């Protein structure tokens, strides 16, 4: 098989990475994709770093067996725990792309108030995030907001309605008084609840996620490694796998990919 016709592997702790895959399908329509979600073991964000590293490396083994030509860790939590090890192991053979909270564009808005970073407890506790803070938090504008329990709701397909809004109100309302400059979605599950976040903020506060930046980086790497899809006339195909032995989670994944539920 020619290298160019092999699929691109996507990984997340569950269905969250579908938000990044959705962007990838738009920007790279001729590529084939294979997605693996580890919903059985989700959430990752409350586990130990060592445990997340092991789960991620095992999941990548699964994707390698599908003969992937590039690897996207479409999970902020797994990226912070395992990206260094993954690059060490695999970047000789293929591009290895991770995702991190999009602080830079959020700071560039230059709006008054705090930049609130919603993410899992692990992402916010890890060194990778501390380094990002050091780089961008010049005048203590950044407010990390851990959101335990939110991934679990989204994994059940709860992406709108009273339960989610109540959760968001409790966490976001305290920042409203001093003003919110922007909200950064530092977990790939959260773009699916963007409308609920907007509703709770009740104004035009920018809500930013890192999926476009990640896919642009993937595109640059495909060019660099010279492994772009060779057939530009046909749309690529997408295969979704999940560690949970359930057709419901696969169905939910395709529905989220196609934007069929809200």
**Catalytic sites, residue numbers:** 75, 187
Nearest to 69 by CA among 238, 242, 243, 221: 221
Among the listed residues 9, 10, 11, 13, the single contact to ligand DGL using CB under 6 A: 13
Residue 119's DSSP bridge partners are 146
Among the listed residues 18, 24, 34, 42, the single contact to ligand DGL using CB under 6 A: 42
Q: What sign for the dihedral angle of Cα 72, 149, 166, 37?
A: positive
Residue 93 Cβ vs ligand DGL, minimum distance, rounded to whole Å: 25
Confirm or reject binding of residue 188 to ligand DGL (CB under 6 A): yes
**105: its two tokens:** 């564009």
Size of residue set near ligand DGL by CB under 6 A:
17
Among the listed residues 75, 81, 97, 181, the single contact to ligand DGL using CB under 6 A: 75
Residue 40's DSSP bridge partners are none
Residue 135 Cβ vs ligand DGL, minimum distance, rounded to whole Å: 20
Q: What is the longest distance spanned by two Cα atoms in the chain?
A: 58
Confirm or reject binding of residue 243 to ligand DGL (CB under 6 A): no
- The DSSP output letter for 30 is T
- Please report, for residues 51, 168, 179, the alpha-carbon distance to residue 22 in angstroms, rounded to integers and kept in the order given: 28, 24, 31
Q: For residues 97-156, which are near ligand DGL according to CB under 6 A? A: 120, 123, 151
Annotated binding-site positions: 12-13, 44-45, 76-77, 188-189
- Please report, for residues 64, 101, 210, the alpha-carbon distance to residue 105 in angstroms, rounded to integers and kept in the order given: 33, 10, 9
Dihedral angle over CA of 38, 12, 192, 203, nearest 10? 140
Q: Applying CB under 6 A, which part among 74-82, 89-97, 104-112, 233-241 lies near ligand DGL? A: 74-82
In the bound state with ligand DGL, the residue whose beta carbon lies nearer, of 215 and 229, is 215
Residues that bind ligand DGL (CB under 6 A): 12-14, 16, 42-45, 75-77, 120, 123, 151, 187-189
């Amino acid at each position: 098989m020619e290298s160019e016709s092999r699929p691109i592997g996507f990984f997340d702790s569950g269905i969250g990475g579908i938000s990044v895959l959705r962007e990838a399908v738009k920007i790279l329509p001729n590529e084939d994709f294979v997605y693996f979600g580890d919903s059985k073991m989700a959430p990752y964000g409350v586990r130990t770093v060592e445990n997340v590293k092991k789960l991620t490396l095992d999941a990548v083994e699964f994707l390698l067996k599908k003969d992937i030509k590039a690897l996207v860790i479409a999970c902020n939590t797994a990226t912070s725990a395992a990206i260094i090890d993954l690059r060490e192991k695999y970047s000789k053979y293929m591009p290895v792309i991770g995702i991190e909270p999009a602080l830079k564009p959020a700071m560039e808005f230059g709006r008054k108030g705090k930049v609130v970073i919603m993410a899992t407890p692990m992402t916010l506790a890890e060194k990778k995030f501390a380094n990002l803070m050091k780089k961008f938090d010049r005048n203590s504008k950044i407010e990390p907001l851990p959101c335990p329990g939110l991934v679990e709701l989204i994994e059940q397909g709860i992406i709108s309605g009273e339960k989610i809004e109540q959760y968001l109100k409790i966490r976001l309302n305290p920042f409203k008084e001093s003003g919110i400059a922007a909200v950064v979605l530092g977990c790939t599950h959260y773009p699916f609840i963007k409308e609920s976040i907007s509703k709770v903020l009740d104004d035009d506060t920018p809500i930013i996620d890192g999926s476009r930046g990640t896919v642009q980086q993937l595109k640059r790497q495909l060019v660099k490694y010279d492994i772009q899809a060779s057939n530009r006339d046909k749309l690529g195909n997408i295969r979704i796998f999940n560690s949970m032995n359930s057709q419901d989670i696969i169905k939910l994944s395709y529905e989220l990919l196609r934007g069929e539920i809200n």
